[in-house]
């Protein structure tokens, strides 16, 4: 009787390593928590943002030095590839991909780019690269003009102007942060919808692949 173990091994292959999976799910959790649960400017919101930043940096570095499927060269963005992939799905044809499929690739880069804007503007609002204390949070959120200490009457008008100008800059940063935060929720919803739709059309459980890190031979990413 033939040994069944080689057959079982041949039916599955590794596609996503632990770093890819951990960063994926922690970033997803951070987006969910800060986008729908926490209050902007709260300590929880800020700490969750730092987790998202750490995971994003780790994943981007892993794109250069990680496993073959995790490297950027394994999933270059391609408009023609995305169009062809959509056509294949609609036609019921399933091409294998070594990493993210061409359509998913665009979503991955869009999510990373939007998250980068969020964390950068978040850091700019706090004015520090280190996690602030509750006191630092209240100071960072207080209008600059209110915080200004007028040393003498001659400098009062100049400090008023500087404070107003700084407030305008902070307002722009806060607005960009809010727009990007709303955008990433939309992208995340589209991503989930796309995963569900493609899983149905292709007969492949894409979410399960990101949980187990493995796919059966013949399944697509």
Per the domain annotation, does 9 fall within a domain? Answer: no
Q: Which domain holds residue 67?
A: 15-142+157-216
The predicted pLDDT at position 192 comes to 96
Q: What are the contacts of 141-149 at 24+ separation with CB within 8 A?
A: 141/41, 143/167, 144/170
Query: What is the SS3 assignment for 6?
Result: helix
- Phi, psi angle pair for 109, to nearest 5°: -65, -35
pLDDT tier at 115, thresholds 50, 70, 90: very high
- Note whether residue 1 is domain-resident: no
State how far the Cα of 178 lies from the Cα of 39, in Å rounded to an integer: 12
Lowest-pLDDT choice from 18-22, 50-54, 85-89, 182-186: 85-89
> What's 39's domain CATH number?
1.20.950
- Whether 210 is covered by a domain: the verdict is yes
User: Is 8 inside a domain boundary?
Assistant: no
Question: Using 50, 70 and 90 to split pLDDT, how confident is the model at 146?
Answer: very low
Mean pLDDT, rounded, for 66-77: 96
Average pLDDT over residues 114-119: 97
Rounded distance between C-alpha atoms, residue 185 and residue 188, angstroms: 5
Please tell me the predicted confidence (pLDDT) of residue 96.
74
The total of structural domains in the chain comes to 1
**High-pLDDT (> 90) share of the chain, %:** 56
Q: How far apart are CA 184 and CA 207, in angstroms?
A: 19
């Amino acid at each position: 009787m033939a040994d069944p173990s080689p057959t079982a091994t041949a039916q599955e292959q590794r596609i996503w390593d632990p770093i890819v999976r951990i960063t994926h799910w922690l970033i997803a959790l951070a987006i969910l928590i800060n986008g729908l649960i926490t209050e902007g400017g709260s300590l929880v919101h800020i700490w969750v943002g730092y987790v998202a930043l750490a995971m994003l940096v780790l994943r981007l570095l892993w794109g250069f030095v990680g496993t073959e499927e995790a490297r950027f060269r394994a999933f270059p963005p391609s408009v023609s590839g995305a169009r062809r992939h959509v056509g294949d799905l609609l036609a019921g044809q399933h091409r294998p991909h070594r990493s993210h499929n061409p359509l998913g690739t665009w979503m991955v880069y869009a999510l990373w780019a939007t998250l980068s804007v969020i964390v950068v503007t978040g850091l700019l609002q706090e004015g520090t690269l280190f996690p602030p204390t509750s006191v630092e949070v209240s100071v960072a959120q207080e209008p600059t003009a209110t915080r200004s200490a007028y040393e003498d009457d001659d400098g009062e008008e100049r400090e008023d102007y500087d404070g107003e100008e700084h407030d305008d800059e902070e307002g722009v940063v806060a607005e960009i942060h809010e727009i990007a935060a709303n955008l990433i929720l939309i992208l995340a919803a589209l991503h989930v919808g796309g995963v569900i739709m493609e899983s149905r059309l292709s007969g492949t459980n894409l979410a399960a692949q990101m949980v187990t890190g493995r796919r059966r031979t013949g399944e697509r990413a």
